[in-house]
Amino acid sequence: MKKINIIKTFGYILIDFLLINASFILTDILLNTTRYKKYTESYLMISIIFLISFVLFKIYKNVWHYASIDEFLKGIIANITAYIFSNMYLYFFNPRIHWKVFIINTIFIVMFTLGFKLSFRIIKQVESKYIKSKIKYKENVLIVGAGSAGTLLLREIKQNLFLNYNIIGFIDDDRRKIGHYIAGVKVLGDRNSIPNIVELKKIDLIIIAIPSLNNKNKVELINICKNTGCKVKILPDFEEMIRDDKALLKNLRDIKIEDLLRRDPINLDLKGIEEYITNKKVLVTGGGGSIGSELCRQISKFNPLELIILDINENAVYELEHELKFKYPNLNIKVIIASIRDKNRLDKIFNSLRPDIVFHAAAHKHVPLMENNPAEAVKNNIFGTLNLVECSDKYKVEKFVMISTDKAVNPTNIMGATKRVCEMIVQAYDKKSETEFVAVRFGNVLGSNGSVIPLFMKQIKNGGPVTVTHKDITRYFMTIPEACQLVMQAASFAKGGEIFVLDMGEPVKIYDLACDLIRLSGYEPNKDIEIKITGLRPGEKLYEELSLAEEGLTKTKNNKIFVAKPLEIDYNQLKQKLDELHLAAQYDDAAFIRNQLREIVTTYKSYLEVAVDC
């Protein structure tokens, strides 16, 4: 391949040499320059100057089939440079040459050499149009956004010979652009014109190509486009595209439910995160789960000395390990298969690996399942956390960050009550340890294992019905990457003993969420796909809360992170109650477990009690 490239380069140099000399001959004919004998004797030297300039400006390294204005300008600069140095040569060796002769000669050189190279681009364009004309079925496409991203996307579509897209026009809210052409495609109107243009031009697909769009405008645009009945694709925001590192066309994706959440972008203090993660040994429990695996991805960006991924599920961490090794080949990864319930195993792991930071994301989290298996919830969530806390204290971990949930606030289910006990353990232990123990509390994350979104999508795929437990039930939502970024940021603010609460935005009606997902799938709710109300499940609340009344919330440096006021918790009293709870769990006595949980978490009421109160 290298040999072929060298032969090609020498071929192009030879052609340029002939074209430069052809320009001399044409100048001779037009201006009778043969009377300047020394000028004709300088042909060879001037040709060499031009060729050296072309080589130095890497003109022969460009792929001229896809040349843009950048390559064209580079060609012009290379010619101007050669012109200056040729003038200097003639000034010293042939000062009698008239300036007009050499200017005209240089114009011919530019026209011939650049014209030859741009001919590749023209041939490619003609070839592309010919091939695309042979494609029988084409989708009529409307691009929303006539800015940089939209223009680049148009260029990529044109260069893709086998893509069956027929670009009909642009949509842009900048009135100055409407009626004008960009790369041969007309700007047809603003967002309000979309329904009429779709009908008039028989549009099949709308592409939203404005990565910088704020959430309010994004939601409005998506709704306008979806209401036309067309397929809709979107270019994600710049952060997502940089993370995926793909061409614009490959970044094009269908509308996701995340796009309809009115969530503002996150501003992170990267330096603050970097200071406590870079060159540190970081342990993530539950590393194969939704939150744990994303934490591992985010942590990997900050060059930890070692990333220790601990999980009981070997398949999940196996996939994650391969993903991270491919993306971060220099990352030192250690995968540990272990249960957080096994204290002796954890002790050996901590003694051997000596982690500096622990992110604790391992937990049983499914509310109805834990309601029917309370002993398992207690053993895993509470005593698994206690094992980790004790090991972290014993082996001088710098920072311990526990992932909590909004279900821990005034819990009505076993899962929420166990997570509240975990928060209390973390806060109580912080007072007697050198380790900074903190918890981060947030609501539901979109797309996590077992969450409502994948369930709804499966039900829609099967033709319905989509099951919602109550028409008025609401939940807080955020994306998994957003939650993990804020967890890492909150940890950078930690001094010990805090419960950080993430700003989840406005609560979302699950019924409305089901309607949005059905529409995104191309159907009409309760027409094509039925929504069935099934009744609240055991332990399920109509709404969730993010903080206890007595905790209060104060702001941090990040407007999406708040800190709850630490409550006074006596560890010795807590430990005594935990011992009694441990006994109840060993006996697998559900009533005894619930009573002991009430002793520890005074705000805990079972869903049956809540139903009676109502």
Extract the tokens encoding 450. 């077992």
**Sequence-ordered list of residues with C-beta below 8 angstroms from that of 418, at least 6 positions apart, any chain:** 364, 370, 377, 378, 381, 382, 597
Contact between residue 413 and residue 373 where contact means Cβ atoms under 8 Å apart: no
- Asked if 53 contacts 79 with a C-beta cutoff of 8 angstroms, the reply is yes
Residue 266 Cα distances to 143, 263, 403, 447, 478, angstroms: 27, 9, 19, 19, 11
HSE-up (13 A, CA, CB side) for residue 217: 14
CA dihedral (215, 220, 221, 227) positive or negative: positive
Catalytic residue among 158, 407, 560, 605: 407
Known catalytic residue at 541: no
CA dist 328 → 26, 320, 489 (Å): 58, 12, 22
Going through 525-587 in order, the beta strands assigned E by DSSP cover: 531-533, 553-555, 561-564
Sequence-ordered list of residues with C-beta below 8 angstroms from that of 126, at least 6 positions apart, any chain = none
153 Cβ neighbours under 8 A, 6+ residues apart:
143, 207, 209, 235, 248, 249, 252
CB 352 within 8 A of CB 392: no
Q: Do β-strands 508-509 and 474-475 pair in parallel, antiparallel, or remain unpaired? A: antiparallel
- 3-state helix/strand/coil string of 478-520: EEHHHHHHHHHHHHHHCCCCCEEEECCCCCEEHHHHHHHHHHH
For residue 538, count other CB atoms closer than 10 A to its CB. 16
DSSP 8-state code for residue 211: T
By CB atoms closer than 10 A (0-12, 13-18, 19+), residue 534 is: exposed
The one-letter code for the residue type at 59 is: I
Give me the active site residues, please. Answer: 407
